[in-house]
Structures are given as structure tokens and as C-alpha cells.
Amino acid sequence: MDDVLVTGLGALSPLGAGTDAFWRGMHAADTAPLRVPDPLAHMDHPLMYLVPEADVPDGPEEQDGLPLGRGSRFALAAAREAVLDAGLAGPPAPDTGRDRGRGAAQDTGRDRGRDTGQGAERDTGQDAGRDGVRDAGRDAGPDAPRVGLDPRAGLDPRAGLDPRRVAVALSSGMGDTDLHEGWWSGQAPASGRWAPTFPVASVVGGWFGAQGVNTCVSNACAASGYALSVAADLIRSGEADVVIAGGAEAYSRVALGCFNRLGAIDPERCRPFSAERRGTVFGEGAAVLVLESAAHARARGARTVYGRLAGAGWSCDAYHATAPEPSGAQIERAMREALREAGAGDGSGPGGLGFVMPHGTGTELNDVVESRVLGALAPRTPLYSVKALIGHTGGAAGAFAALAAALVLHHKTLPPNVPIGEPDPECAVPLPSGSAPMTGGYGLVNAYAFGGNNISLVFGEAAA
């Protein structure tokens, strides 16, 4: 069976725009949620890890007449970076006036490699550590055009891509709900057109002209993990050569209000596995990975391979609408199936499990159940908590964990965890406070959801 490779990464997160900002933020390990700037957020704890205002995409406001919300714009921003990173972005499309609904507002300094203002300090350092992937077009001098960065660029026909074999599998828990919330509350002018709540995949597919499967997965907080596994299945079954996969999530007043009513929001920050944890705290953003068959990547001469999606395991608790099944039998089943499919062991070395990106949200039972299973399955394997860094990004959580896993495998370094305070003795899992070299060739990613939906993914190092 052909390997499924990760050949491109894109991110827009509370750490800023781009995967370089994300990797630096992982090492800084210093974040905190903010009060949402919503005058109608009448709730006890209106806290969230927000994308910095300077990094929120200016547009597009619509695509082909379809109004776009914050979630779709986040997804487009991350997908554009991932496709460019993979070396699949084409030259600028001609300006026909219609502009494919993309909006000239996006053609700003933010989109041209972040050359000005706040973005200038992000375009340094880590670029050199990414094998020069972003350096095409830079070496010709400061005035050379930025190849493929024009917001109107689609897929590059020179990459040998058949658009019928390019698919999109993206996820979101709330989609473009912010649009509808604005219309309901009168905060935004009502649209003359009906707008679906979950257009994320079709928007990205339309942008790039991807004529393969375009699907949006929305089974709550496991959604982007499922989207990535669907993407791998499309490649392995021969349905697609390349899949743009991941997830996007944006602030929703309804979602945050509901979790406040459930008493599931921590009043301080997201601190999974902490003795003081009192719930979760949401985050927003988008994480996108370009997955590609190894044969296709070789044929086109892919510039960088971050790793491979080596295994996946699905299961369902069939127990309760919101609570995890206390024994953890089904999350263990998903983990074991993913590890078995990948051929990963629990020891050190190339065939061993080097790290875990846990689901751990900061809710009481969820963290305990996952800790017990991990303690039995991989007791010495270090954990890295993405949610302690950027909060619980809902339908994008699995994708952010997968992106973090790909970066760890690529750099062969596990960054320090955000300090969580006193660890819960019932959550006896190793959360290193310092940066450390990777000791195994595989990383395990977990994502769980309401309805008992569970998924585990195993990412492996790229073959030499």
C-alpha cells in the first residue's frame, strides 16, 4: 500500500498567522485566553484563545456570491499556506474583475509573506529551518515577485496535477455560524442570499479548482481527525492523489454560551491534566495539511516531506451523548488499531512511539479516562498538550494536533508544555516542561467527541 505523505502545512491560530508562528509559539509555551470582544456575550466566562486581530483575514467577504464567515476565511488562509508550502500553488490568475469572489482586500502585505508591520518579525528564523520551502521567489532579491503568493492563485498545472484527483476533506464544529448569529442579532446586515452553515470544504475546493471529493466532516471535536483519516482513505483507495485536509473553527456565541450553561468552561485557562482544572476553554483558527500519495510526491519531486500518516483507528463508545465511557475501552481500541496499522511499538528508536498529542480538554472525567489508558498503553511516552497552548479548537482540534505532530517529526524535537500547575495524581502522564529530542519515530494523535466518537492517528517520520 502506498504511503500517505504530509507535503504541506498551513495554520492560522491564536499564535498568529503561519506554521512558523505556530512552531515558535510551541517553544515559547506562554499563552492565555482573552475576553471575547462581543457585547452580546452575556455569560459567566466569555473567554477564548482568539486569532490576533492583526492576523484575521481581511476577506474574501464572499465567493461566487456566497457570503463567507470567519470559519471559511480561516480555512482559506490555512489552505493557501499549505498548498503553497507543498509547491502546488499556481501563478496568479488573471484579474477578470469577477476575481472568483476572492476580493482584492486580501491582496495586502499580510498575504505577501507578511512583509510589513507586525508580520515582519514573523518572516524570520524558522523559514530557514523549513528546508527553504518558502524561499522560492525570494532569492532573486527583495523586489522579485513572490511566486504563488497572490491570493488569486489556484493549483499549479506545472505540478502535474489532475484537478479531478485533488480532493478536499475539511471539518468544522460550528462552520460559519458567526454569519447567522450576526444576522439573527442584527449586528450585521441581513444577506439577500441563503448561506449554508458548513461550506468550508466546498469554499476551499472551489478556490483551488479541486474537482475530486469535497466533503465537510462535522462530528464535533473528533471531526478533523476523521477528516484526515478520510483523506488518507481517498488516497489509499486510489480515488485521489492529493487531499487538502484539516479543520477550521471560529468564535461562536452560541457554542460558548452553551458550554457556559453546561458549567464546562474553566474561568482561568485551558489546563488539561491539572489538579486545578475546572473545564475547557475554546480556541479558534484553522490547521490544514496537504496529504499526498508517495508515488505522486516522488513523480513531481515534492520539496519537503514532513512525515506520513501511517495509521488510523476509529471507534464509538455507544455510551452517552456527552460523557466518555468510564473504562476507556473504546478509546483504547482506537489507539491500538492506529498503532497496529502503523506498525509502531511502545519503545524508543525508529519503530517506537516518541510522543502523544492527547485529546485532554481540561474536563474532569475526559482527562482521567485518557490518562489511564495511556498509562497502560504507553506509560513512558511523553505527552504534548496542544490545548494547553491554544485552547480547545473543537472541530479543528485533531488537525492542530496533527500539524503539531508533523512539525515535531520534521524538527525531531518535542517542545516544552505550557505549565498547567499542580498535576492531577489521577492523571499520571508525563508532560515535559522542557524541550527534548524525539526518542521514537512515531507520534500518536487522539481526538474524541460528543456522541462517543473517537479517533486516533499515528504519524511517522518520512522515509530517508
Nearest in space to 386 (alpha carbons), one of 417, 411, 409, 407: 417
- What percent of the chain lies above the pLDDT cut of 90? 75
CA 323-324-325 angle, to 5 degrees, is 120
- The predicted structure's pLDDT at residue 357: 98
| Mean pLDDT of all residues in 209-231 | 96
User: Tens digit of pLDDT for each residue in 415-430?
Assistant: 999 999 999 999 999 9
User: Tens digit of pLDDT for each residue in 239-288?
Assistant: 999 999 999 999 999 999 999 999 999 999 999 999 999 999 999 999 99
Nearest in space to 246 (alpha carbons), one of 282, 289, 307, 211: 289
DSSP letter at 98 equals S
Catalytic residue among 180, 296, 359, 410: 359
Query: What gap in Å lies between CA 354 and CA 413, rounded to an integer?
Result: 10
346 CB burial (10 A radius; 0-12, 13-18, 19+): middle
Query: What gap in Å lies between CA 297 and CA 159, rounded to an integer?
Result: 10
Residue with cell 529530542: 437
Q: How confident is the model at residue 464 (pLDDT cuts 50, 70, 90)?
A: low
φ, ψ for residue 289 (rounded to 5)?
-120, 140
C-alpha Rg value of the chain to the nearest Å: 21
pTM (predicted TM-score): 0.87
- The predicted structure's pLDDT at residue 156: 83
Strand extents, DSSP E, 73-120:
none
Give the CA distances from residue 428 to residues 34, 94, 373, in Å, rounded to whole numbers and listed in that order: 29, 57, 11
Query: What gap in Å lies between CA 242 and CA 219, rounded to an integer?
Result: 23
Query: What gap in Å lies between CA 456 and CA 405, rounded to an integer?
Result: 13
Catalytic residue among 221, 296, 410, 411: 221
Would you say residue 447 has pLDDT above 90?
A: yes
The H or E element spanning position 336 is helix 329-342
Q: Which neighbouring-strand residues pair with 449? A: 453
Q: How confident is the model at residue 330 (pLDDT cuts 50, 70, 90)?
A: very high
- The predicted structure's pLDDT at residue 428: 93
φ, ψ for residue 313 (rounded to 5)?
-140, 130
Query: What gap in Å lies between CA 34 and CA 333, rounded to an integer?
Result: 37
Would you say residue 128 has pLDDT above 60?
A: no
Q: How confident is the model at residue 133 (pLDDT cuts 50, 70, 90)?
A: very low
User: Tens digit of pLDDT for each residue in 66-94?
Assistant: 899 999 999 999 999 999 999 998 765 55
Query: What gap in Å lies between CA 441 and CA 460, rounded to an integer?
Result: 6
Lowest mean pLDDT, pick from 65-69, 169-173, 226-230: 65-69
| Mean pLDDT of all residues in 217-222 | 95
Lowest mean pLDDT, pick from 186-190, 219-223, 368-372: 186-190
- The predicted structure's pLDDT at residue 347: 61
- The predicted structure's pLDDT at residue 127: 38
Mapped onto helix, strand or coil, the DSSP state of residue 63 is strand
Compute the mean pLDDT over every residue in the chain, rounded to the nearest whole number: 87
How far is residue 44 CA from its own chain's centroid? 28
> Which residues, 6 or more positions from 203, have their beta carbon under 8 angstroms from its beta carbon?
63, 66, 68, 72, 75, 76
Would you say residue 137 has pLDDT above 50?
A: no
Mapped onto helix, strand or coil, the DSSP state of residue 62 is strand
359 is catalytic: yes
Query: What gap in Å lies between CA 462 and CA 166, rounded to an integer?
Result: 22
Region of 433 (left: φ > 0; alpha: ψ -120 to 50; beta: rest) is alpha
| Mean pLDDT of all residues in 192-211 | 91
Quote the cell numbers at residue 162: 489532475
Catalytic residue among 180, 296, 392, 410: 392
| Mean pLDDT of all residues in 213-231 | 96
Neighbours of 64 (CB within 10 A): 12
- The predicted structure's pLDDT at residue 101: 42
Lowest mean pLDDT, pick from 48-57, 267-276, 337-346, 367-376: 337-346
Mapped onto helix, strand or coil, the DSSP state of residue 182 is helix
DSSP letter at 49 equals B
Query: What gap in Å lies between CA 349 and CA 355, rounded to an integer?
Result: 12
Neighbours of 20 (CB within 10 A): 24
φ, ψ for residue 349 (rounded to 5)?
95, 175
- The predicted structure's pLDDT at residue 87: 95
User: Tens digit of pLDDT for each residue in 21-47?
Assistant: 999 999 999 999 999 999 999 999 999
Q: How confident is the model at residue 349 (pLDDT cuts 50, 70, 90)?
A: low
- The predicted structure's pLDDT at residue 364: 93
Mapped onto helix, strand or coil, the DSSP state of residue 405 is helix
The H or E element spanning position 11 is strand 4-13
